[in-house]
Amino acid sequence: MRVPTRKPGKYAGLKPDKYITKAKYDELQQKLKKLKKYSRPRAIEEVKRLALMGDFSENFAYGMAKGRLRGINQRILDIEDRIKRAVIIKPLKNKETVQLGHQVTLEVNSKQKTYQILGSTETNPLGGIISHNSPIGAKLIGKRAGDIIKIKLSKKKVNYKIIKIE
């Protein structure tokens, strides 16, 4: 029997953004430490305990425990890879042009909004944190206070004026 194959989607195989803040880096370090020190040893002990119960072919709990252990090991590998590739965002002292880590105050439709530009793994648009890969973030990088950027939304273009860079 032939197995159906699918074309990878737009976001298949994308690596996580390497730009992270020091706080996110520390959070990843803590998560890795917790997984290695507590979660993995407990999962290993559980697998050992269930392996003593006998027949592996009918031991559903053993299969589940092995699956949990594989999941923990994969998370450890993923976090180690992210830490290894991480580039800590250090905002430049130069506040003349917008860079990663800066806070930017924009005026749109006579209202002011403030955004902080970070890596895509730490975004929170409702909290005012946008990615440097987002439409607004990408247009802001390298611009100066007073510049106007135009962003095309679904049916209209919106003008954003840069008021202040912090």
pLDDT digits 0-9 by tens, 74-121: 999 999 999 999 999 887 777 888 898 899 999 988 899 999 999 888
Q: Look at residue 10 and tell me whether its pLDDT is greater than 70.
A: no
pLDDT digits 0-9 by tens, 110-166: 899 999 999 888 888 889 899 988 888 889 998 988 888 998 877 888 888 989 888
Architecture of domain 19-88: Orthogonal Bundle (1.10)
Answer yes or no: pTM beyond 0.85: no
Distance CA 50, CA 13 (A): 35
Q: Closest Cα partner for 87 from 16, 19, 25, 17?
A: 19
Residue 54 pLDDT class (50, 70, 90 cuts):
confident
Tokens, residue 162:
């840069």
- Report domain extents, the chain: 19-88, 103-165
Q: Which CATH number fits domain 103-165: 3.40.50.300, 3.10.50.30, 3.60.20.40, 1.10.540.10?
A: 3.10.50.30
Tokens, residue 99:
């860079």
Tokens, residue 29:
């370090």
Residue 3 pLDDT class (50, 70, 90 cuts):
low
**Which residue reads 């994969």 in tokens?**
74
